[in-house]
Structures are given as C-alpha cells and as structure tokens.
C-alpha cells in the first residue's frame, strides 16, 4: 500500500489553515490487521500538519478532509479505526478544527455507527458530512453534522 496516495497535506491560504486529506479509496484492508506502519506514517504526517499550522497560522488546529470516493465495504477495517481514533485523540487533543467527509457511500452509515462510540463527543461535533443537492444542471453542496440528514448513494 502506497501511503502517499492515501495521505496528502496542503495549506489553504484562503481559509488560513492546513488541510490533512485522506483518500480512503486507495486504502487496502490487511488480512493480519497489522497497521502499525500506517499509523506511524499518519502520525508523522499529522505532526507535520500541526507544526506547519503553528508556523504559518499561529494555531495547532488543522482541517481533516476525508474523501470516500471509490471506497467499498471490503476496504473497511473497524479494528484499525478502534485503535486509530483513541491514539490520535490522546496524542493530538484539540488539533482538529473541522472534519469534512465527502463522497459518502451508502454503507457508510453502518460503519460510522460502529466507530462513532469511540469518538469523543466534542470531536463528533466537528464532523461535517457533505450533502450534494442537484437542481437541474447545477449541483450545490451543503454540510450537515447529522449523518441521518443525508441521502446517501
């Protein structure tokens, strides 16, 4: 698995923030459930994001952007999320300004309901799900904190 395809870091000058992007469609579930090297890679990338945000914008907060395009149920490993969520909540408390999740597949509600119990309630308030609204030829985008508000693909 090429971690650089999954994780991307960039600065957003318009919003004065550092964006930590995750492209989940490139993630491959491991049969042995060992993700230590992946978690280490994410940890280093997260540290880079926080450090860069401090230098450029005088804040430790970053925006986490999660793109679920081309993500399938076979890619999901809830065991990894159960380890990953508390690790980062402990190591990087209050470093997330907002989490934006986009291109949400239909099965995501089930997966999210399984792992959300491991996410601190204050962190859950920072999670926004993209909702696309088609109006004729135009598509507009709104965001909601409540996954139940969305009509998923």
pTM greater than 0.85 (yes/no): no
For the stretch 120-132, pLDDT in tens is 899 889 999 886 6
Q: Quick check: 141 pLDDT over 70? A: no
Length of the chain counted residue by residue: 153
- CATH number at 3-149: 3.40.525.10
Query: Could you give the CA distance from residue 34 to residue 25 in angstroms, rounded to a whole number?
Result: 19
Query: Could you give the CA distance from residue 124 to residue 90 in angstroms, rounded to a whole number?
Result: 15
Instruction: Give the least confident one: 8-12, 55-59, 86-90.
Output: 86-90
Q: Quick check: 115 pLDDT over 60? A: yes
Query: Could you give the CA distance from residue 47 to residue 53 in angstroms, rounded to a whole number?
Result: 10
pLDDT in the model for residue 54:
96
User: What share of the chain has pLDDT > 90, as a percent?
Assistant: 40
């Amino acid at each position: 698995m090429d971690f650089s395809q999954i994780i991307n870091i960039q600065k957003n000058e318009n919003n004065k923030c550092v964006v930590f992007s995750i492209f989940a469609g490139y993630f491959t579930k491991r049969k042995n459930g060992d993700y230590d090297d992946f978690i280490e890679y994410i940890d280093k990338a997260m540290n880079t994001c926080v450090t860069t945000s401090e230098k450029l914008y005088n804040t430790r907060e970053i925006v986490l952007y999660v793109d679920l395009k081309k993500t399938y149920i076979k890619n999901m490993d809830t065991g990894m999320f159960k380890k990953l969520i508390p690790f980062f909540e402990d190591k990087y408390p209050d470093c997330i300004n907002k989490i934006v999740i986009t291109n949400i597949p239909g099965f995501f509600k089930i997966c999210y309901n399984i792992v959300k119990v491991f996410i601190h309630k204050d962190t859950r308030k920072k999670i926004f799900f993209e909702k696309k609204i088609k109006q004729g030829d135009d598509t507009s985008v709104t965001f909601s904190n409540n996954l139940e508000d969305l009509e998923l693909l």
